[in-house]
């Protein structure tokens, strides 16, 4: 329904090509009369964008990194995501909590149970949902790509941040982290074969969103 907010996230390892489809997704929903809030993580608010710079560029241990990620997420949820969903908007977000479990958890090897606790803390005390309910995307497009191919795509594209500069083995762990998250929440995740051409990827995105009843303002299915 048009008055129902939709929270759609794009996930995948660096180089998977997810961000390149945000323009088309935004245009698609706007063409159907929806108001779109386009955002990203870490980031999305002035405070969270400041924290993003620290997270992506400054060396730190996994706990410090995770605390900053969840601090940025808390501000992002309270200031941007929940108000937009309450208005009935479509929120298109480049990464969300799945990325934390994939990068800091699987990639860095940080304790998943601690990440789950931090997730609970970061989302506590919000009026929009009961205390025991975590805000999760309605649909997550997971751009699945072999880390070796992703590395080839990233090579020479720009000066890498500290994550993009990681070795392929790091991204193998991250990719497995995403696969584990998708397996645990198959109803929410849509696997996109990111090894296809850009045009083929877009056709798969349209098809999957149509099948799930997400397009034409019909809700998240």
Mind listing the pLDDT tens digit for each residue in 193-210?
999 999 999 999 999 999
Residue 221 falls inside a structural domain:
no
Cis omega (within 30 of 0) on the bond before 42?
A: yes
Task: Look at residue 3 in the predicted model and tell me its pLDDT.
Answer: 61
Residue 166 falls inside a structural domain:
yes
Residue 183 falls inside a structural domain:
yes
How much is the average pLDDT of 98-116?
Answer: 97
Residue 217 falls inside a structural domain:
no
Element (H, E) at 178: helix 168-184
Q: How many domains does the chain have?
A: 1
Task: Look at residue 169 in the predicted model and tell me its pLDDT.
Answer: 93
Cβ count near 33 (within 10 Å): 9
pLDDT band at 30 (very low <50, low <70, confident <90, very high): very high
pLDDT at 219 > cutoff 50: no
Residue 106 falls inside a structural domain:
yes
CATH number of residue 137's parent domain: 3.40.50.300
Task: Look at residue 15 in the predicted model and tell me its pLDDT.
Answer: 87
Angle made by CA atoms 47, 49, 51, in degrees to the nearest 5 = 70
Task: Look at residue 154 in the predicted model and tell me its pLDDT.
Answer: 76
Mind listing the pLDDT tens digit for each residue in 120-179?
999 987 765 555 589 999 999 999 999 999 888 877 666 678 888 888 999 999 999 999
Q: What does pLDDT average to over the chain?
A: 91
Spell out the residues 6+ positions from residue 149 whose beta carbon is closer than 8 angstroms to its own.
Answer: 15, 195
Residue 86 falls inside a structural domain:
yes
Task: Look at residue 133 in the predicted model and tell me its pLDDT.
Answer: 80
Residue 220 falls inside a structural domain:
no
Q: Which residue has the higher pLDDT, 218 or 96?
A: 96
How many Cα neighbours within 13 Å face the side chain of 198?
10
Spell out the residues 6+ positions from residue 108 whose beta carbon is closer than 8 angstroms to its own.
Answer: 62, 65
Residue 200 falls inside a structural domain:
yes
- Residues of the binding site: 12-19
Mind listing the pLDDT tens digit for each residue in 39-87?
999 999 999 999 999 999 999 999 999 999 999 999 999 999 999 999 9
- Residues of the binding site for ATP: 12-19
For residue 53, the enclosing domain spans: 6-212
């Amino acid at each position: 329904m048009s008055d129902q907010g939709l929270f759609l996230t794009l996930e995948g390892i660096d180089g998977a090509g997810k961000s390149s489809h945000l323009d088309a997704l935004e245009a698609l929903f706007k063409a159907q009369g929806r108001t779109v809030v386009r955002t990203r993580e870490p980031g999305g608010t002035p405070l969270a964008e400041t924290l993003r710079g620290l997270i992506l560029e400054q060396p730190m241990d996994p706990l410090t990194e995770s605390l900053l990620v969840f601090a940025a997420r808390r501000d992002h949820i309270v200031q941007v995501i929940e108000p937009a969903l309450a208005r009935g908007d479509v929120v298109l977000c480049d990464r969300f909590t799945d990325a934390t479990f994939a990068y800091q958890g699987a990639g860095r090897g940080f304790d998943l149970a601690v990440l789950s606790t931090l997730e609970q803390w970061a989302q506590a005390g919000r009026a929009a949902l009961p205390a025991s309910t975590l805000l999760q995307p309605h649909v997550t497009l997971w751009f699945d790509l072999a880390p070796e191919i992703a590395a080839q795509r990233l090579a020479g594209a720009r000066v890498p941040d500290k994550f993009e500069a990681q070795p392929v083995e790091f991204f193998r762990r991250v990719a497995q982290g995403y696969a584990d998250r998708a397996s645990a929440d198959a109803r929410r995740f849509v696997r996109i074969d990111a090894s296809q051409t850009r045009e083929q990827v877009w056709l798969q995105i349209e098809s999957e969103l149509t099948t799930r009843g997400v397009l034409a303002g019909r809700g998240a299915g």
